[in-house]
Chains A and B, each alone.
Chain A
Amino acid sequence: MDKAKLRIFVVDDDEPSRIMLRSIFAETYAVELFDSAESCLERMKTERPGLFLLNVGLPGMDGFEMCRRLKSDELIAHIPVIFISRKEGMEFRLTGYDAGGDDFLVKPYAVEEVKRKVAVVLKAVEKAAALRQRIDDSEKMALDSLTNLSEFAIVIGFVQNLNQCASNEDIAEALLKVLRAYQLEGAVQVLAPDNQFTLSEEGRDRPIECAVIESVRGLGRIVEFKRRFACNLDSLTVLVKNMPLHDPTLCARIRDNLLIAAECANARIQAQQHQSRNSQSKTKAAEAFDALQSVIFNFRSKYAQALYQSSLQTQGLLDDLASAFVSLGLSAEQERRIDHIVQSRMEQMSAIYNFSDEMYASLSAVARQFAVILNTSTQPDAGTQQAAGDDVELF
């Protein structure tokens, strides 16, 4: 409280008493003098003091009644009142207390006494005002904290549900719900390579929203213009068109919370992109695996056919030789030697087919490894995995 500017209203029907009080306080306060309660109340319509020095024994409305009137008005009830009277006594003082007075001065008073009482009452009022302010501040802080918690809970809820968003559209809708929870209006633009769209509660890909977002997209990560706010991230833009500028604190909190939500949504969209690419790779790998299986199957099939045909041809050769031996008139020794040569060659040919068996075994091993890789990437849950090498059925 600035004493130099503080105004004191002195109400006393006795002129020397009024002049004396003005003389005592004129150097420190702005003192206004009134000879009746009525004239003072009239002045109260245009000016309010920081303190009243109120004589009790006034003609017309007395000091107690005036004080009751002052204290019944919520807007001025806080202004302290010091009664002045020639009367004293406990009952008189209690009446003054009941009327709402802050202190009592009995004439004749000492100059130092009246100065000190005024100072003490003003100090008490100042302390009371400071206390009220602290309580108000504490209440506001508590309310702000609760509000802040509530606002933050919206973001927490959004982040918790983000993993359940199966598509970018789900993510955009979830962000729009966050905006609505903050009583905001706006739009969300998703910029995934294979999926670009703009969504608001008014619809999808509305030209005006697309144009506005396009205009702010290149202006930096955070764009603020009047009531508009935009957050531009790699795969996402969130546009708000009605930020609560009337409440800067609320505005700052909402901005922070929206940034958190947008960052999380952006990360989720990018994760979905990676997931999509992985899924495509797996499909191609599975196709390659099928092709490999087919190649191995054909190889084995043709190999078996070749082996069968080869054995047939060999047997035919042996049969033809046996027939030829009859007509050729060879000795038993010659027949045995020729038969030995043929048998030896047939064994060598058989060895060649054995190489093919090794080839088949190698191809099968590659296929098993391929299958293991495929199973690992398609079945991330280790608990459900089995020994893939034993599990693969190639044919």
Chain B
Amino acid sequence: MPLIQLIYTSEASSNLNKSEVLEIPRKAQFKNHSLKISGLLLFKDGQFIQLLEGDEACVQGLFEVIAKDQRHTNVTVRDRFQTDRASLPTWAMGYFSPEADAAVRQANLFVMSPEDVQAICSALPERIGLRFLAVLQHG
């Protein structure tokens, strides 16, 4: 069944705090799994970049909801690909901030380490991976 891969970037709202950022993986993991959507969300220096992959209608529907979310602005679709195979086996988040580790551990959440994000981005298809690596290196 053909799938769609959608990549967007956005900027965090000025009033977005740490606990609100950590609410994203808590809710998104369950919602995305129910929609059979995999992907990767990075948050670094107030910048978001996310890959959503799955059934086109599901991805498009989810993206429209995300685009309206008040916690970020300047939501911009960077790429949209048709594919027959998803690049990731699940949906995950990478949270880059000096206090990320302690905060994530305290919240008992699965958030990928910088090393693993770097590794997974390098392993992704180039057209996707380069977008993410650009955000990572930008910081």
Contact = CB atoms under 8 A, between A and B. Distances in A.
Contacts of B29: 110-112
Interface stretch (B4-12, B13-21, B72-80, B108-116): B108-116
Interface of B: 29-30, 32-33, 36-38, 54, 85-92, 110, 112-113, 116, 119-120, 123-124
A108 B33 CA distance: 7
A16 B120 contact: yes
Interface residues of A, number: 22
Q: Which among A14, A19, A22 has the highest number of chain B CB atoms within 10 Å?
A: A19
A20 interface: yes
A111 B33 CA distance: 9
Contacts of A22: 116
A108 B92 contact: no
A114 interface: yes
A21 to B, nearest CB: 8
Interface in A95-119: 107-115
Nearest to B88: A16
Given A110-B30, A111-B92, A19 B120 contact: yes
Nearest to A108: B38
Nearest to B35: A108
B89 A20 contact: yes
Interface string A12-33: 0011110111111010000000
Q: Which among B36, B89, B120, B123 has the highest number of chain A CB atoms within 10 Å?
A: B89
Contacts of B119: 19
A19 B110 contact: no
Nearest to A84: B89
B120 A24 contact: no
B33 A109 contact: yes
Contacts of A21: 89
23 contacts: A16-B124, A19-B119, A19-B120, A20-B90, A20-B116, A21-B89, A22-B116, A23-B92, A23-B120, A86-B86, A107-B38, A107-B90, A108-B36, A108-B37, A108-B38, A108-B54, A108-B88, A109-B90, A110-B29, A110-B30, A110-B33, A110-B91, A115-B110
Contact of B120 (A20, A84, A86, A108): A20
B136 to A, nearest CB: 15
Contact of B89 (A107, A112, A115): A107
A24 B113 CA distance: 10
